[in-house]
Structure formats: structure tokens, C-alpha cells
Structure 1
Amino acid sequence: MIQDSSYLLPGNRNGILLIHGLTGTPNEMRILAKGLNKAGFTVYSMQLAGHCGNEEDLCKTTWQDWYKTVEDAADFLAQKVDNLFVAGLSMGSLLSLKLAADRPEQIKGVGVLAATFKYDGWSIPFWVKRLYFLLVICKRLNLFQKKSFTEKPPYGLKDERIRATVSESMLSGDSAAAGLAGNPLPALAEMQLLAKQVKKQLPQVICPCLIMHSGHDDIADIKTNARLVEKNVSGPTTFTTLNESYHLITIDRERREVINECISFFERIAADNSLSSTPQEP
């Protein structure tokens, strides 16, 4: 049975919904969540459907199931705040962008952290990059559905100390703490379908977007992922390139910079919204 690892950190009337990545857990957002909460924000770090269990649990779900839990989490947090923001890591950033596209009146800003439309970083084997498009076809034909793509070091982390801690938890089977060691092919196929849908909807994102990505991302190349978002969304963008991190920027060496950039970004939007909603004297 999957346990719910979501957590709510109460704060002011500005709320931020945090969304983890594929095979990940809310734990990968915890440092960011605490930093945002310390700055005053109400933070809800949610758990995607099928996650924090085993591979079989994950493979029972679709991207629509993942997104439904995002919508439910947004509804939950919206009851507690006046301004609602969203930020996601890796695949979580795609779900964040879709939420912003679907709810332009509700979502005031998006944190796009290490956006991942496809696995094409420098650590991904050449054959995986070339055959990635076949995943959806294999799922439709029910081929190789018991297989997984197992990540190799550096596991998205440049900081060797943190890498050792995370990999130990992940390889021990503690999926609630550090996520799954493998990426089941059916789940990767669902992610590809999600990416296709989000690409179509990027022009519908009209709110400000903070895009943060490592220039040395081992999982998702900055040019084909983060720059894709920057080029296609309709809202104003702020782009920050990190140079001392790999993919998991919320827990890697520049995690404090990620926290500070997010705080400044969301505080600025909240302040602008406050000014615009203040009645003007005649």
C-alpha cells in the first residue's frame, strides 16, 4: 500500500504548490519547501499518483492520473491562499506548465525547474536517445512492458556527498524516501505522451515563468528542454543557468540559489498582484 508523503507547511496567503519528478518523491522538494516557507509562503509539496510505491504501482497509472492529483492538490491549496503559484522539478515542471495553461486565471506564476521533455542529457546512453520515440509504440503493442531503464551515476547530482546519500536510499528500495532506482518503460511512455501534450499547450501559459536549468544537466539538455519553454510560452520569462549542479537542482550544490531565485520571483509577483488589487483613490 502506498503511503501519502505529501506535506503542508502553513504560512501566509501566498501559496506555492511543489511537484516532484517521475519516479521521484516529495522529499526531493523538501529543502526548497522549507526555504520558501521560511520566507513566509504557504507550501504544499504533493505526491503524484502511483509514486512512492513500487514499479508495479507506478505502471498502473497514466499521465492523466498524475495530472489529476496535481489538480486536486491545487484545489486543496487554493482554499488556503489568495495567490496560487506552482513549481515543478523535471517532469513536475511539465505538469506545472500544464496546470498554468489550463488555469490561466488561477495560477499567478510558474517555477520551471530542470524541465524534462525528453531524456537527452550527457549521461543518457546514445541508444536511449535514439530509441526514445519507440516507447509509446511499444506500450501500445504491449512490448517490453516489464522492462526498466536504470539510471547510472551521477544520478542527477554533482555533489558527491549528497549523491552517495541519495543513491544509498534509492538502491536500498526505500522509494518513499528517494524514489525508484529504475524508470519503468511504460511510465516513460506516459511521460512522452505528457510531453507531447504540454508542448502543444505552452503558448497558453500567460503567467510569468522562472526557468532554471543546469548548463551541465546530465538528464535533460538545457537547449532542447528549458530553451523550448522559454521560446514557446506567452508569458514573461526569467531564465537562470546553473553551472555547479546537474539535474536535481533542488538538492544539488546550488540549492540555495534555487531557493533565493524562487523567493524573489514569487514575492515580486505577489507584490504586483497586491498593488493591482488595491483600490485607487479618486
Structure 2
Amino acid sequence: MQDWSAQGSGKNARVGVLLVHGFTGAPPSMRPWGEFLHSKGYTVRVPLLPGHGTKPEDLNKVKWQEWPAKVQSELDQLFKSCDQVFVAGLSMGGATTLFVAAENNNRLSGLILVNPMINRSSAVLSRLPLWAKYLLTFTVKLRASVGNDIKRPGITEHGYDATASKGAYELFRMLKVTRPKLSKVTIPVQLFHSINDHTLPVCNTEIIMDELGSTNKVRIELINSYHVATLDYDQELIFQNSLTFIQGLTRP
């Protein structure tokens, strides 16, 4: 439930990969992926986003700017020892990495997204205007959990068992700011989309694929996983395809 990092080795040691977890989630949802890439020699960082990894109430104390700021800090750390850096994000982590990628487009070598969020969830509450969401944060501090949408039995992402209302409001604020930045992202993008995602509607993937500035962008469908696909049945498919993606963009 803390930041995790591992220095690479061999010919891939100076290629870094930053993996970012989702809303109410934690590093365990990304660490198996990170450990796989580290086993191939890559330098890897899996940060814990502010307001996560403790208790749900702590997400009510965080401003959205803290999430990309944390990712930016981790990115800067990777560039101290790496010549190339790739960034990957799951769900809200996808939105956060898109924000950061737009600000660092000329520095990054590629972006990998797994069921990324950019628009909204399927819940009725999420379709309310921002001012209405803000008012609700004063009356309902915690709501039902949005985590652990995993098909594999007995698997958990070690996330919160409740959703912080103010944290969710901050998330929607970040999405509103991030979407207009999509056209600034021109680096290669690999996007994984679960066809049976109970957390986010497919419009999130469609918006991102349509509005990205990248000409090199590919969408890979996952047929045997739910939202937290990095821990689900298609885990190996994500790992192997992301490895191929990174290898194809790594300079000699």
C-alpha cells in the first residue's frame, strides 16, 4: 500500500515505466504488471496516489491537482536514471496519465491505458452537473464502493470499501480539465478495453481514441476481464502486449 519502485538491469535499465492505479485503488492493482516489466530489465515505479491506501475519508481531503503532481514527481525521478520513459494508467489513473502526458508529450516515448476514464461512469449521480455534485458532498460524505470489478474469484485490488464524495467531485473536476488536453497527446498509445466493464461505459474509450492527437494508437479488446483488468483473466495479455509495445518503441 506504499510507493514501490525497482531499478532495472541490463540493456533495458535506462528505460523506465511508470504505472498509475485507479480511483479508490492502490499500487497492488499495478504491481504485478510492474514486477513483470522489471523482470525484463526495465526500471519501474508504481506510486501511491494522494488520499489512497489509508481510509476512504482521506480522499475527501485531497484536491485533484495532487494526483497529477504526484505522477509528475515520479516521472521526474525516472528521468534522472532513464533515457526513455513510458507511462501506464488504469481507470482514473488513465485520466491522470493523460493529463501528465499532455504536459510532457515531448519527453515521453509512449502511453498505455487500461479501461481509462475521461468522461463519466454509468451511474446517474455522475451525470449531474459539477455544481450539483459539489452540493452533494456536504450531505453524503461516503457512498458505495466502485472498486473490485474483477471477474476472477478471490482477487482484490486492495482498494477502499467506500467512495469519498468530495474525492469523486475532485475526480470529475480533473476529467473536465483533462479532456480538452487529449489533442496535445501525440505520442504512441496502446489502449486496452474490457468489453464487460461494469464500472465505466465504452464511451470513455471511444472519446479517448477519437480525440487523442496521436496517429499511432491501437485499441485491444479484452474479452475475459472486468474493469480492473490488470488483475483479471486477461492480465497476461496486457503484460505481453505492453512489453511488445515498449520494445517496438525503444531506441537502440
Q: TM-score over 0.5 for the alignment?
A: yes
Q: Which one-letter code corresponds to 1:253 in the other structure?
A: Y
Instruction: Give the deviation of 1:144 after TM superposition.
Output: 2.2
CA contact (8 A) 1:135 1:186 kept: no
> Is 1:137 matched up with 2:131?
yes
> Is 1:259 matched up with 2:239?
yes
Which residue in the other structure is 2:227 paired with? 247
Instruction: Give the deviation of 1:98 after TM superposition.
Output: 1.1
Which residue in the other structure is 1:30 paired with? 31
1:268 pairs, out of 239, 248, 251, with: 248
Which residue in the other structure is 1:8 paired with? 5
Q: Which one-letter code corresponds to 2:43 in the other structure?
A: T
Q: Which one-letter code corresponds to 1:46 in the other structure?
A: P
Instruction: Give the deviation of 1:149 after TM superposition.
Output: 2.7
Which residue in the other structure is 1:115 paired with? 116
Q: Which one-letter code corresponds to 2:212 in the other structure?
A: V
Instruction: Give the deviation of 1:60 after TM superposition.
Output: 0.6
Q: Unmatched 5+ residue regions in structure 2?
A: none
**Which of the pair has more CA radius of gyration?**
1
Instruction: Give the deviation of 1:99 after TM superposition.
Output: 1.1
Instruction: Give the deviation of 1:150 after TM superposition.
Output: 2.6
After TM superposition, the score normalised by the length of structure 2 is 0.92
Which residue in the other structure is 2:91 paired with? 90
Instruction: Give the deviation of 1:135 after TM superposition.
Output: 6.7
Number of matched pairs: 245
Q: Which one-letter code corresponds to 1:108 in the other structure?
A: S
- After superposition, the C-alpha distances for 1:217-241 in whole angstroms (9 at most, x for unaligned) are 111122x011211111111101100
User: What secondary structure does 1:16 align onto?
Assistant: strand
Instruction: Give the deviation of 1:7 after TM superposition.
Output: 0.9
CA contact (8 A) 1:99 1:107 kept: no
Instruction: Give the deviation of 1:145 after TM superposition.
Output: 4.3
Which residue in the other structure is 1:104 paired with? 105
CA contact (8 A) 1:135 1:185 kept: no
CA contact (8 A) 2:134 2:166 kept: no
After the TM superposition, which of the residue ranges 130-139 and 80-89 deviates more from structure 2? Answer: 130-139
CA contact (8 A) 2:134 2:169 kept: no
Instruction: Give the deviation of 1:257 after TM superposition.
Output: 0.5
> Is 1:161 matched up with 2:140?
no
> Is 1:233 matched up with 2:207?
no
How many Å separate the matches in 2 of 1:139 and 1:79? 40
User: What secondary structure does 1:107 align onto?
Assistant: coil
Instruction: Give the deviation of 1:147 after TM superposition.
Output: 2.9
Q: Unmatched 5+ residue regions in structure 1?
A: 121-128, 167-176, 275-282
How many Å separate the matches in 1 of 2:130 and 2:164? 12
Instruction: Give the deviation of 1:18 after TM superposition.
Output: 0.7
User: What secondary structure does 1:197 align onto?
Assistant: helix
User: What secondary structure does 1:58 align onto?
Assistant: helix
How many Å separate the matches in 2 of 1:135 and 1:151? 20
How many Å separate the matches in 2 of 1:239 and 1:140? 34
Q: Which aligned segments of 4 or more residues in structure 1 are displaced greater than 4 angstroms?
A: none
The 1:139–1:215 alpha-carbon spacing in structure 2 relative to 1, beyond 3 Å, is closer
Report % sequence identity: 27
- After superposition, the C-alpha distances for 1:76-128 in whole angstroms (9 at most, x for unaligned) are 111111001100111001111111111111111000111123212xxxxxxxx
RMSD: 1.6
CA contact (8 A) 1:210 1:239 kept: yes
